[in-house]
Amino acid sequence: MTETITLPDQCTTMAEVRAGVDATDRELMALLDRRFGYMRAAARIKPTRESVRDEERKAAVIAAAGADAEARGLPRAAIEAMWGQLVEASIAYEFDEWDRVRV
């Protein structure tokens, strides 16, 4: 069943805003679940533990998020900071998964 929410520009009450935020948070969790699934796949595929951390890739992912944020009129620095935390959490998770699948 698809949830109907009021789009931000059409919200007229705080109840609509909160319902939209809550629905968006659930969507974000589903996307994070998929993203971390890719981290599990990477942990399974990468041949060495040292290959888990890739600073060049990390910088590229954060820069791409910042550019996308800027193009959308979102605060670039804030988005890059969030993405930095997301990428670091993803790397930590991938290390844990790399170790887990090889025990």
As a 3-state breakdown, the chain gives helix, strand, coil percent values, each rounded to 5, of 80, 0, 20
11 within 8 A of 20, measured Cβ to Cβ? yes
The owner of tokens 């109840």 is 15
pLDDT score recorded for residue 103: 78
> Residue 2 above 70 pLDDT?
no
pLDDT score recorded for residue 3: 73
> Residue 57 above 70 pLDDT?
yes
Mind listing the pLDDT tens digit for each residue in 3-53?
Answer: 789 999 999 999 999 999 999 999 999 999 999 999 999 999 999 999 999
Higher pLDDT, 3 or 86: 86
The CATH architecture assigned to 13-101 reads Up-down Bundle (1.20)
